[in-house]
Amino acid sequence: MVRYFFILSRRDPDLYAYLKDRFSDDTAVEVIMDRRHAPPAASIAGSNTERRRHPDADDELMLRSYTVVTVPDAADGFSRLEASATT
């Protein structure tokens, strides 16, 4: 089963709440808030590098305040799912 992760910027809690409610019954969808506190460049310079770094997702979060990442059932990698901006 393919899994979808909606990753929301911390600057848009209303969209997070809406999507969390909208997909609450869908086991293939998980809505999560971006938990990083520092911009990606700052975390790379420090000793605590960000292991979840995904450049496309970082760009999407800065531009749209959300991104959708799909995790294929049989693959180890991530691929970005195109989504239209709502904000």
| pLDDT tier for residue 83 given thresholds of 50, 70 and 90 | very low
Give residue 31's Cα distance to chain centre.
8
Cβ atoms 4, 28 nearer than 8 A: yes
pTM of this prediction exceeds 0.75: no
Higher-pLDDT residue of 64 and 42 is: 64
CA angle 58, 27, 12 (to 5 degrees): 35
**Torsional sign, CA 18, 38, 67, 3:** negative
pLDDT score at 76: 47
Per the CB < 8 A criterion, the answer to whether 6 and 23 are in contact is: yes
Note the pLDDT tens digit of each residue in 52-80: 556 677 777 777 888 888 888 764 444 44
pLDDT confidence tier of residue 37, bands split at 50, 70 and 90: low
